[in-house]
């Protein structure tokens, strides 16, 4: 669903998507928020690069198979809330390039150089 006009993925409660392995919504310029992905325990890749209106990404539980989280070019992204063990694992990739408004990363204040 790359380059879609979606503002959000669905209405209401979080969706149980146990077979979802890859979510690519890159360059969905109107996407504002990604719902909690904790009901997608097998997700391996989340690609949200270039989602210019995206302000928040979060997950309430450990995503043990997540190995790629791309948020580069999410210029309005202000907060990223993921379980600490997702971001501290040796394997995997988290791309936050060009996220100049990012202020909160798992409760830590992020200082930008600009």
Residues 41-88 pLDDT 10s: 898 899 999 999 999 887 767 677 888 889 999 999 988 877 666 655
Range of the structural domain that residue 62 is part of: 1-10+18-114
- Nearest 10 degrees: Cα torsion 35, 38, 40, 25: 30
CA 113 to chain centre: 22
**Number of folded domains in the chain?**
1
43 backbone dihedrals φ, ψ, rounded to 5°: -65, 135
Residues 39, 62 contacting (CB under 8 angstroms):
no
Which pTM was predicted? 0.81
């Amino acid at each position: 669903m790359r380059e879609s006009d979606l503002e959000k993925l669905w209405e209401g409660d979080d969706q149980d998507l146990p077979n979802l392995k890859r979510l690519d919504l890159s360059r969905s310029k109107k996407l504002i928020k990604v719902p909690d992905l904790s009901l997608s325990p097998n997700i391996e890749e989340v690609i949200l690069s270039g989602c210019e209106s995206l302000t928040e990404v979060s997950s309430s539980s450990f995503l043990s198979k997540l190995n790629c989280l791309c948020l580069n070019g999410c210029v309005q992204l202000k907060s990223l809330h993921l379980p600490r063990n997702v971001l501290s694992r040796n394997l995997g990739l988290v791309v936050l390039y060009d996220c100049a408004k990012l202020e909160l990363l798992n409760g830590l204040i992020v200082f930008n150089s600009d």
